[in-house]
């Protein structure tokens, strides 16, 4: 008798043109499980985003006086090692060390090298833009931006590969056009 009265009451609601939404109660275990899954997903997402937005140390920008083509400044320290014909020269600037290739007969800088192991090639691409070219030699990859290059030691060349050196040259280095990240054979 009770079931019949519910059916009659339902028919009356439908006949009157009104709609009634009856939501079944969700078991407590299902609600708790959905909540835990949602919170866990948001936590993982937050950790991944925080890891990707780590602070990048400021890019080393070599002062103009230390760029190739300039005379060797007096504050660069140079020494001759053993029977070498070219001195080794370096200087410390803005928490970075720079090394120089020099032309001793003409007294000018031919190349400058900055160790850059705190950076990835992806970070340099983000900061410096699209490269002008790329050179690949065995496990060494040089990515060029005009007179500036990055040296990476790698087998598969990916954006997260660490940069070994940033190199400044007198003239742009001949290179293949930049085609993005791909495997070299």
**Per-residue pLDDT tens for 50-89?**
666 666 677 778 889 999 999 988 888 887 777 666 778 8
**Per-residue pLDDT tens for 147-159?**
999 999 998 888 9
Specify whether the CB–CB gap between 181 and 169 falls below 8 A. Answer: no
> In the prediction, which pLDDT does 54 show?
62
CA 45 to chain centre: 19
Phi, psi of 46 (to 5 degrees): -65, -40
Of 133, 132, 128, 87, residue with least CA distance to 110: 87
Torsion (CA) 71, 58, 167, 125 in degrees, nearest 10: -140
Average pLDDT score over the chain: 81
d(CA 22, CA 95): 68
**Per-residue pLDDT tens for 6-55?**
444 445 555 555 666 666 676 777 778 888 888 888 888 777 776 666 66
- Of 104 and 75, the structure prediction assigns the larger pLDDT to 75
> In the prediction, which pLDDT does 67 show?
92
Check pLDDT > 50 for residue 101: yes
């Amino acid at each position: 008798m009770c079931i019949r009265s519910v059916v009659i009451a339902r028919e009356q609601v439908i006949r009157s043109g009104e709609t009634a939404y009856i939501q079944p109660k969700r078991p407590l275990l299902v609600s708790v499980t959905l909540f835990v899954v949602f919170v866990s997903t948001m936590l993982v997402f937050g950790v991944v985003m925080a890891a990707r937005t780590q602070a990048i140390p400021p890019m080393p920008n070599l002062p103009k006086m230390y760029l190739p083509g300039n005379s060797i400044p007096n504050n660069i320290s140079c020494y001759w090692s053993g029977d070498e014909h070219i001195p080794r020269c370096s200087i410390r600037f803005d928490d970075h060390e720079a090394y120089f290739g020099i032309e001793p007969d003409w007294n000018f800088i031919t190349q400058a090298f900055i160790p850059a192991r705190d950076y990835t090639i992806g970070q340099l691409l983000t900061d410096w833009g699209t490269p002008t070219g790329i050179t690949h030699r065995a496990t060494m990859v040089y990515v060029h931006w005009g007179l500036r290059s990055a040296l990476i030691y790698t087998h598969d060349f990916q954006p997260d590969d660490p940069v070994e050196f940033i190199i400044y040259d007198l003239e742009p280095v001949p290179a293949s056009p930049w085609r993005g990240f791909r495997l070299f054979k």
